[in-house]
Amino acid sequence: MLLISGMVVLILSAAAVSYMVASYQNSLKMKEVQVIYEYKIETISTQAEKFGDNLSKALTYLDIARYNLEEAKFNLDKSLFWMEEEEYAEMNTSSSNAAYYFRRANTIFGKALDFLLISKNFTVENYKKILEYYINYTNSALNLTKTGELMSIHLNNASHYLLSGAADDADAEFQKFSMLQGIYNEWYQEMEDNLIKIKTFYGIRG
């Protein structure tokens, strides 16, 4: 009888130990799953924050760069106007300002591109397309502003020559300006095309 009782106790003890071990193992698995889940949530949150933060900085730089680009275009138009009016001193000032604003816009577009490329490392599928549009737009803007700066420099050189009466040298600068003008127009059109894609993505008309 004692032997049977002892065996029952041993069986029950073994069952209890087995249950405790299984429970402990399940608890460990649950904690492991919880840690993995929390890590994934934290990673996603951190990734979203980094994407949003870098994209916000990029868009801020784009706004500032566009303002400088408008100033550059305005001064470039003024340079051409003063050239037609044969006001070469005014042409000199406007072309110098145009070169400055094109150069400044180029630098700021470059900073915007840096943050757009960083954003690309943290983006999710839904935002890949719009990010691609912004990157293409900014690359076009970088090419446009670099070309615009060179055009302005040639106009500025021409104004110096015209002020000193060196018409042949001025003509040579105008030829260089004309060669760049076609390239400038191509980059401008590419920029506009990318801007339309961005507006279409957001459902903006016009």
Quick: pLDDT tens for 93-111. Answer: 999 999 999 999 999 999 9
User: What pLDDT, on the 0 to 100 scale, is given for residue 47?
Assistant: 77
Pick the residue with more confidence: 67 or 5?
67
Tens digit of pLDDT for each residue in 160-204? 999 999 999 999 999 999 999 999 999 999 999 999 999 999 888
Using one digit for the tens of pLDDT, what is the confidence trace for 7-31? 433 344 444 444 444 444 544 444 4
Residue 205 — pLDDT band, cuts 50, 70, 90?
confident
Report pLDDT for 27.
47
**pLDDT score recorded for residue 45:** 57
DSSP the chain: -HHHHHHHHHHHHHHHHHHHHHHHHHHHHHHHHHHHHHHHHHHHHHHHHHHHHHHHHHHHHHHHHHHHHHHHHHHHHHHHHHHHTT-HHHHHHHHHHHHHHHHHHHHHHHHHHHHHHHHHTT--HHHHHHHHHHHHHHHHHHHHHHHHHHHHHHHHHHHHHHHTT-HHHHHHHHHHHHHHHHHHHHHHHHHHHHHHHHHHHTT---
Q: What is the pTM of this model?
A: 0.79
Q: What is the pLDDT of residue 126?
A: 81
Q: State mean pLDDT over 119-145.
A: 92
pLDDT digits (tens, 9 = 90+) for 34-67: 444 444 434 455 777 888 889 999 999 999 999 9
